[in-house]
Every structure is written in C-alpha cells, then in structure tokens.
Amino acid sequence: MSQENSRTEVVSPARTFRGSVRLPGDKSISHRYAMLAGLAEGKSTFANFSTGADPHSSLACMQQLGASVTKEPSAITITGAAGNFQQPTGALDCGNSGSTMRMLAGLVAPHVGTFTFVGDASLSARPMERIRGPLEKMRARISLTQGHAPMTVHGGSLQAIHFDTPIASAQVKTAVLFAGLQAQGETSLTESVRTRDHSEHALRAFGAELERSSDGIRIRGGQSLHAIDAVIPGDLSSAAFFLCATLLFPDAQIVFDDLGMNPSRSTLLDVLVSMGLKVQVLNLEEKHGELIGTVQANGAACIQGATIAGTLSAQLIDELPVLAAIAPYTNSGVTIRDAKELRVKESDRIALVVRNLRAMGAEVTEHEDGMSIPGNQALHGGLIDSGDDHRIAMAFAIAALRATGETAIQGAEAAAISFPEFFPLLRTMSQS
C-alpha cells in the first residue's frame, strides 16, 4: 500500500462487546466460485460475494481470461468461458492475493497460451515454488523470478500425476485439483495435514466428480463445469476477530446470521470454547456442500490459555495473529509452535505480532516457528504497525479493546483486503 494512502485508525478501550451481524461472504469460497464460474458454461449468480479486495482480484483476472462479470449491489453474475480461456492481453494482476495467483495458475495451466501473473510488493515476496513443482510434473512450464512473482505459466495439454503435498496448503491442493480437472487421466493427491475443503465442495457444486478417501483425493480429467446460483455464507475467518472480542468481556454477546460452519474451518470454535467462550449453534443447514448456521457467542468470566502446535497450527494459520493478540489477557498464556508458515504470509506475522505486543507493554518470547506469551498481563495503548497486513491490523484492534488508553493502528486500510467493513462494525459493537 502506498504511504500517501495510509490511514491510522484509533481504537479506544471498551466496556463490553455486543451486537448481531451478517458478515460478508466467505473469502475462500468467493475465490473458488469466481474461478470455477469463469471456467464453466453458463451464467452463475452469487449473492453475498466477499467484499474483500482479494476475491475481486480473482474476478478481474477471470474477465481478462474471457469471462463476463457483472457487479450489482445484491449479487455478482459471471458468464463463463465454457472451458476455453482466451489469451489475456496483459498480465493478470493478482493484487495482494496469494489465493488468486496460486489457484488460478492451476486453472490456466491446461490452456494453450502464455499467462503472466503479477502482484503488489507483498505478494511478489511470497513463495511460488510450491506450485511450480506439481504443475511442472503435469508438463506445464512455469517461469518464476527467484522463486517469486512475476510468474509466467506456459500452458498446454497436461498429464495426470500423483502428488504428495509437502506442506499443509489448501492453495497448493487447489492448484493441483484445478489442473487435474482438465488434465489427461486421473490426478490424485495426499495430504499429511488435511486442509480446508472448500475446493472439493465447489468442484462438486459445479458438476465435477471427485473422490475423497482417508488417504487423499482423486479427480478425473476432461470434466466440464456448469453454472450455479448460490448464496455465499458469512466468512468465519472474519468472524474470528469478533469472536475473540466477545471472549474478552464476561457480559459480551454476539450473534452471527448465516455464518459458514465448514468443519475444516471450525477448529477455531473448538479452541475458543476451550478458552472459555460460550457458543451455541442455533440452526444449521447445508448448501452446495457447505454448512451454514446462526451462531451465538457469549464472553468468559475467566479466559483460559492455550497451546497451539502441530496440525492445530496448520488448521488455524489465519487465526493465529488474533489469538496471539489476546493472549496476554488469558490466565495462563498462549504458546504457538509449528507455525513457521506465518513468516511467509502477507508479512512476517510472527515478527510483527511480537513487535506490536511489545509496543503495548506485553512480555513475549519469539521462536522461529511461533511465540510464547504469558498470561495475566495488562496492556496499554500504543502505536501499532500493521505492516500493510490486514490480519495484523484487525488483530491489534481487538487487543486494543481491553488495553488502557487509546491504540493507534497505522496502515488500517489494509483491512479492506479481506474485510472492508471491519472498523465500522467494530465501532458499532464496542460499548464504552
């Protein structure tokens, strides 16, 4: 983000946190629906599409590839390219979105043409070798710049492979599945840690067949996709910030309508319940394979600590910054290990969380793969550096609610990457 557009948001302490909210559509699902609708035959319509900048980068790329996209206040309509992407006239600009760059590379790789992907400074520093490996095994040719974007995919006919994912990454898995959908033969992959399964549900929703077993996923090549209409559930990763805010106050209460409750994402709720949050799921239904529910959460009189390590760290990778930000308020602290992937996100999230906690007066020990944060600490307001990272900006806005004095968050506009409504909603629900 350019310095001249930088915005500082001041967050004041709150007495409690209360409200009812329907969140913008799930970012992960919005990405996948945008891409598959862009490839499919026919016209797809999506209500409650994510308002975040990242999924709109995916929409813009689909337009460059020959899909038609119409944005209305109530819905997004995408008329697909019916299985045949056109050669884009310029580079595919993914903005800040690693999901767009990594997953879309797999989707375009089976198409004859040259597809160049670019992004902002943050995205251009993130690792892309992880998708080059499997896609080149399938006979695509990928050119990187010292392992990073700009990235060029030289597409053409692909061959199915078996792939053992070396890291827990839903984006890498999706790139392989999207390529396998259009390859010759049956592509299979295994995961040592099971990642979020939105891609599997989305592929089935658009008419593809795939098999999920205990040891992996199989998808047959040569399948075509057909348009769907869908309402995208509220984003659980966005809800994470408000759930953590609710945990901080004994009399706090929040109700989420139509919240995504995918079991591969709801590990967060299990952890927050173990920390003292009271959660009720008031109703639950399934749409296009995704579970959607109304969720009520109430605060805790005593906030328990937690140890997050191993597969749990991989499952909670996006939520770890906000869990770390509220860790000083727990009774026994929070330890996070096996989360080295945080260092190659939109920022080095381990370093930034540690620096900002210390700016608020917290004691914290930094590890190469995480951090240890003692409990029973009092925080004071401070100057927070978001590092142009949306999750850092929002995480420390939550920590600020229980601090003494005001907290100034520099680079607060980064929240728009995933949750443009965050600060207005935070002000509405924070009660002084």
**C-alpha to C-alpha distance for 198 and 26, rounded to whole angstroms:** 10
**C-alpha to C-alpha distance for 153 and 135, rounded to whole angstroms:** 9
CA-based Rg of the chain, rounded to a whole angstrom?
21
User: What are φ and ψ of residue 82, in 5° steps?
Assistant: 55, 40
- Going by C-alpha positions, the residue among 248, 395, 267 that lies closest to residue 321 is 395
Q: Is 181 helix (H, G, I), strand (E, B) or coil?
A: coil
- Going by C-alpha positions, the residue among 357, 351, 358 that lies closest to residue 387 is 351
Task: Give the pairing of strands 253-260 and 16-21.
Answer: parallel
> Which residues belong to the active site?
318
CA distances for 3 relative to 125, 140, 162, angstroms: 18, 38, 45
Query: Is 214 within 8 Å of 197 (Cβ atoms)?
Result: no
- According to DSSP, the residues that pair with 334 across neighbouring strands are 306, 373
Give the DSSP per-residue string, 59-74.
HHHHHHTT-EEEE-SS
**C-alpha to C-alpha distance for 400 and 396, rounded to whole angstroms:** 6
- Going by C-alpha positions, the residue among 394, 421, 428, 420 that lies closest to residue 409 is 394
- Which one-letter amino acid corresponds to residue 357? L
